[in-house]
Amino acid sequence: MELELSGKSVVVTGASRGIGLAVTRALVAEGASVTAVSRSGSAELKELEAAGKVHAITADLADPQAPAAIVEAALAAFGRLDVLVNNVGAVHPRVAGFASVTDDDWVTTFQINFFSAVRMIRAALPHLLAAGSGSIVTVGSVNAILPDPLVIDYSAAKAALANFAKALSKEVGPAGVRVNTVSPGPVATDLWLGAGGVAATVAGATGGDASAVADQVAGDSVTGRFTRPEEVADLVVFLAGNRAANITGADFTIDGGLITTL
């Protein structure tokens, strides 16, 4: 399927690994030019940059000034901005319960999982509105509607993100800018499966084994496995392109059937 992304300029945050890296690769395969944003870069991004079509930059999205600089870098590199993919995010399991989550913890969680997207959209939106078209795709989480005490602050931030995106879609849709969210369940990335990831953290707190924790989580899905980053990327890239031109204000769950629906 031709997704009509050839020649488009896209900003992707959290692009150095996991879902963000998969999205960047998929966009390049569709002929888009990508400003790939990450906090510290990666060898994979360097390889993509060397092959062309990717402009990799480092930025800390906890810095309120970073989004404006990112948008300017994208305009300088490719002369336009057509799509924004908000992917950056982080989660820290609260194995000691709600009382252990400090005000600073709450602020940090909302900075990276909510305000980073708000600020990126604020910086990018004037350019999309001026063009009379554009797509904003934000990667959320099933935890927006599946609150979990283990990730209580993360769940709240993702719920706020989903609500914000829906509200914004109603404002900017008549001007030609689409706003959608993608909500993955557990994905086979370092966030879940890496050293210091969710599975390892839970195992460390319970005296269990990280692989056993991961297997139990995977077993909660109908498909019995984690979603692959490339599967999330395919959905994100479809929503970014013009073949999804009448889709806005929608949330798409990709969780292997984890959430029971009617």
Which residues belong to the active site?
154
Which 3-state string (H, E, C) describes 171-217? HHHHHCEEEEEEEECCECCHHHHCCCCHHHHHHHHHCCCHHHHHHHH
Q: Pairing relation of β-strands 33-38 and 251-254?
A: unpaired
Cα atoms found within 13 Å of the Cα of residue 142, Cβ hemisphere only: 18
* Helix axes 18-29 and 229-240, enclosed angle (nearest 10): 50
Tokens 């790939």: give the residue: 36
Nearest C-alpha neighbor of 217 from the set 195, 189, 185: 185
Q: What residues does 135 pair with on adjacent strands?
A: 83, 178
Q: Pairing relation of β-strands 134-139 and 33-38?
A: unpaired
Contact 209/203 with Cβ under 8 angstroms? Answer: yes
Cβ burial of 218 (10 Å; 0-12, 13-18, 19+) is buried
53/28 Cα distance (integer angstroms): 7
